[in-house]
Chains A and B, each alone.
Chain A
Amino acid sequence: MGKKLLLANDHVPGIQSLDVYSKHGGYAAVEKALKTMTPDALVEEVKTSGLRGRGGAGFPTGMKWSFLAKPEGVPRYLVCNADESEPGTFKDRYLMERIPHLLIEGMIVSSFALGANTSYIYIRGEYFYIVRILEKAIEEAYAAGYLGKNILGTGYDLDLYVHPGAGAYICGEETALIESLEGKRGNPRIKPPFPAVKGLYQCPTVVNNVETIAAVVPIVNMGGAEYAKIGIGRSTGTKLISASGHINKPGVYEIELGVPVEEFIYSEEYCGGIKNGKKLKAVVAGGSSVPILPGELILKTAQGEPRLMSYESLADGGFATGTMLGSGGFIVMDETSSIVKNLWNFTRFYHHESCGQCSPCREGTGWMEKILHRIMDGHGKQSDIDLLWDLQKNIEGKTICPLGDAAAWPVASAIRHFRAEFEAYVNNPGSIKEVRHYYSVNNLQPA
């Protein structure tokens, strides 16, 4: 069994309540941090732990915290990004649903470390039932004196609010999230200035993923150095992976970073192998945005070494033969799945979710979707594949926020690794049975 830090107690009945959570060692980190540690020591501890952002980019959290500007007389904010909307990712949902107090405990400790007296949990609008879970937990924490004025008699004040979004994927981008939290249209801001200097209400702000903030709790409890021993190389600690697709046991798994991908897919402890004894075709390793990899490249790197579930190993080979750990949305596809159809579905999503602020993403995502739909409709042309390649290249890196990249990478990787499949669709439209005239049959407009 791998080490479990976040989900060690997720099976305990009633763990959602503060009483049961406390009995299992909950809020020890708050006691320890607020009573025995200084904010700077906490930031150092997180730096030592080597914790990296769990939302997708993998930026070292301690470093992010130390960038926070600290001008006199200006409030600082901590915002938890719970706007988990990446197709294939559902780890934060599980965490908040099962152990809401772990997130709240992490928020208290992290806010203390950053010197924030007001913090927000910006949660995806579709998770409205989790809003209720979190609000109940926050109420309990206020009653127990973990939130509010003068927490545990230490003189530290913290107010914590849950703010639901309205269902836009783009609000998971940190500056769009801040805009939305301020009550404006959720358009990403142009950086610089970065949120660490001018964020929420033009004040220094740190935005962290749910899992990142939750991971601060074990770091405080066990010490940063001890935490850094878990995992492999610069990928320290544990990571929640939401596994889905053609596997026997889909679900959220906590893994120690560095578990071989092969073990993750085939062992009984995790995914339990491919459904119905079929063969592995491809894996999207970190949520829909990261490049898709064919089976042989996800199990072994281009050099023939076994690929591990870690930031470095998954990225080995760059985008030519590698991918990213991303947010941990692990989508497995068996030999029956159609890469083109899957790509079309992803592209449809990005088209729908583009905010429309900058031109390459606004016009490009829709264009790519229309071409893919045409291919799926049986009217594709050979030149469409090259056009798709050109379009993704013209979008990637030319946009304000990473949504453009997220829309471009799946297209690039699908063509890079599965070009033959596109060509088969174009040359033999009769082979496509599934999605023909999807829009007209269902009386839909392209998203």
Chain B
Amino acid sequence: MPKVTIDGHTIEVPEGTTILQAARMIGPEVAPPAMCYYSKLATSGGYCRTCIVKVTQGSEKDPRPMPKPVASCRTTVMDGMVVENKTSAEVLEARKGVVEFLLANHPLDCPVCDQAGECHLQDLSYEHGASDTRYEFERRTFDKIDIGDKIKLHMTRCILCYRCVKVADQLTPGRVHGVINRGDVAEISTYIENAIDNEFSGNMIDVCPVGALTDKTFRFKSRVWFTKPVDAHRECSSCSGKVVLWYQGAEVLRVTARKDAFGEVEEFICNTCRFDKKQTADWVIEGPRKINAHSVISANHYEADTVNPGPVTPRLN
């Protein structure tokens, strides 16, 4: 089993593990951020470049460093590999550059965006971004398209992570959307305007790292930090039925899949669970969802049994 050292932590991992997976095994403190990689979706990753790391020693056999920063999500570890992530100023600088590119055309409409509070791009720019923008041109916009009554597509917010395309390829019977056009006018779209309607399409909302795909049934209902997440389950014939209900008072505002420490869903859920079962009576309540104390969702005095976050990471810049 290859041994890899990331930021001074050494770990032995199974053959074929990527640097990012190995770093996640060590712990969230060491793991590079990932905007497009999704461990539950095959062939995902490699596009956003936020997870780039520096390989200072290729392997035991060939100790030469890799000439360029590599995407940790798509690079498998070799025995004796030494990787620098947060300990390398060069990597942090490069990552800051990538974040700047991701934000260059992002509308930054967080105040009206339903994703705010659980947005990966927000977290990323908070941790790795600059405090202001050097982009002085008009931001890119797209013609709005309607992709059905369940999911709202906001193309201006999209960072083209391709996750929703992979969900459609790998979870649903037929993909009707994809990336059209190229370069900076590339967009997620259905060709020609077509509803994305199948039993697992709702998972596109959960995998979307930004507010490009949001739940129409939850649209503008509430900020996420005013809602209270509760674990619940039900007998479902098409999925595991394990979900989180987001309550405001006694009302279930939305239903999502359960997400782990890296913001990835634990198990994908079906649209029936997500959109149609919004009564407490439909569910068996398990108890409050454990939320990381750093999250803004916890900031609203939702402190019941929060996860101990460990030592606080200092802000990087």
Q: Do A and B interact with each other, yes or no?
A: yes
* Chain A residues engaging chain B, CB cutoff 8 angstroms: 168, 170, 185, 190, 351-360, 362-367, 370, 387, 390, 393-394, 397-400
The dominant DSSP class at the A interface is helix
27 A-B contacts (beta carbon < 8 Å): A355-B183, A355-B186, A356-B160, A356-B183, A356-B185, A356-B186, A357-B160, A358-B46, A358-B49, A359-B47, A359-B98, A359-B159, A362-B101, A362-B184, A363-B102, A363-B104, A365-B183, A365-B184, A390-B97, A394-B94, A394-B100, A394-B101, A398-B49, A398-B52, A398-B94, A398-B97, A400-B46
Q: Does B61 contact A (CB under 8 A)?
A: no
> Given the complex, which residues of B lie within 8 Å of A367, measured CB to CB?
101, 104, 135, 137
Does B182 reach chain A (CB closer than 8 Å)? yes
Partner of A352, one of B69, B104, B183: B183
The distance in angstroms between the C-alpha atoms of A170 and B100, with both chains bound, is 24
Distance, CA A366 to CA B69, complexed state (A):
23
Q: Which of B45, B48, B100: most chain A CB closer than 10 A? A: B100
Which B residues, 62 to 82, have Cβ-Cβ distances below 8 Å to chain A? 67-69, 71, 74
Number of A-B contacts (CB under 8 A): 86
How far is A133 from B47 in the complex, measured between Cα atoms in Å? 39
> Does B248 have its Cβ within 8 Å of any Cβ on chain A?
no
A370: B residues at CB distance < 8 A: 137
B105 at the interface (CB under 8 A from A): yes
CB distance from B59 to the nearest CB of A (A): 14
Near A by CB (< 8 A), chain B positions 84-133 give: 94, 97-98, 100-102, 104-105
| A362 close to B49 (CB less than 8 A) | no
Known contacts: A356-B183, A363-B104, A387-B134. The answer to whether A398 contacts B98 by CB under 8 A is yes
Task: Say how far A324's CB is from chain B's closest CB, in angstroms.
Answer: 16
A356 to B74, CA, bound (A): 18
Interface residues, chain B, with chain A CB atoms under 8 Å away: 45-49, 52, 67-69, 71, 74, 94, 97-98, 100-102, 104-105, 134-135, 137, 159-160, 178-179, 181-186
Quick check: A366 and B184 within 8 Å, CB to CB?
Answer: yes
Q: Chain B CB within 10 Å — which of A168, A185, A352, A358 has the most?
A: A358
A353 CB contacts on chain B under 8 angstroms: 183
Contacts A190-B74, A367-B104, A394-B101 given; indicate if A354 touches B184 (C-beta within 8 A).
yes
- Contact, CB under 8 Å: B186 / A397: no
Q: Would B183 and A360 count as touching, CB distance under 8 A?
A: no
Which residues of chain A are within 8 angstroms of B183 by Cβ–Cβ distance? 351-356, 362, 365-366
Give the docked Cα–Cα distance between A206 and B48 (Å). Answer: 28
Which residues in B have their C-beta under 8 angstroms from that of A398?
49, 52, 68-69, 94, 97-98
| Complex partner residue of A400 from B47, B97, B159, B185, CB under 8 angstroms | B47
Closest chain-B Cβ to A409's Cβ sits at a distance in Å of 14
Tell me the nearest residue of chain A to B35, going by C-beta: A359
Most A-side CB within 10 Å, residue of B52, B68, B94, B101: B101
Contacts of A400 in B (CB 8 A): 46-47, 71
How far does the Cβ of A325 sit from chain B's closest Cβ, in whole Å?
20
| Pair B182/A355 contact, Cβ less than 8 Å | yes
Q: Which residues on B sit within 8 Å (CB–CB) of A393?
A: 97
Question: Once bound together, how far apart are the Cα atoms of A355 and B180, in whole Å?
Answer: 10
Question: CB-CB < 8 A to B69: which residues of A?
Answer: 397-398
Give B186's nearest chain A residue, CB to CB.
A356
Q: Report the minimum CB–CB distance from B120 to chain A (whole Å).
A: 14
Query: For residue B134, which residues in chain A have a CB less than 8 angstroms away from its CB?
Result: 387
**Known A-B contacts A363-B104, A363-B105, A394-B94; A357 and B47 likewise in contact (beta carbons under 8 Å):** yes
- Shortest B66–chain A CB gap in Å is 10
Chain A residues with CB under 8 A of B105: 363
Shortest Cβ distance from B184 into A: residue: A366
